[in-house]
Amino acid sequence: MRCRYDGNRLREIRTKRFSADIIKRRAVAFERFARWQAQAPNRCDPATALSGLGTLYELLPGESRSRPVDVSGVRVLHQRLQVLSKALPKDT
C-alpha cells in the first residue's frame, strides 16, 4: 500500500496534530519496516559502506561539497519521530 500525501495530511503533520489514524498507520509502517530490516542481510561490512559513501561524496559537484551542511531537515525528522514514539503504545 502506498501513501499519498494530500495537502490536509501534510498540514496536519506540519502542525504536529497527529490523529489516531495517522499514528496507527505510521506504527504499522514501522512494524513492516522492522520485519523487513530483520530479514534483510547486511550486504557489506562497515568499512566497505564508508568507502562507498566517500565515493558518492566525490561524485558531487565541487560547489555542492563546498556548501555548509544544512542539518535542519534532520532536526525536523528527529522531532517528528520523537512525537510519534511518545504516541505509540509501549511494548511490555
34-59 tens-digit pLDDT:
888 888 777 788 899 899 999 998 99
Supply the pTM of this predicted model. Answer: 0.34
Alpha helices in the chain (DSSP H): 7-14, 20-39, 46-59, 62-66, 72-87
Q: Phi and psi for 61 in degrees, rounded to 5?
A: -60, 150
Query: Does residue 81 lie in a domain region?
Result: no
Cα 17 to its chain centre, rounded Å, is 19
Question: At residue 19, does pLDDT exceed 80?
Answer: no
Quote the domain boundaries for residue 22: 1-41
Q: Closest Cα to residue 24, out of 65, 79, 90, 84? A: 84
Query: Does residue 20 lie in a domain region?
Result: yes
Count how many domains the chain has. Answer: 1
Query: Does residue 30 lie in a domain region?
Result: yes
Query: Does residue 2 lie in a domain region?
Result: yes
Question: At residue 62, does pLDDT exceed 70?
Answer: yes
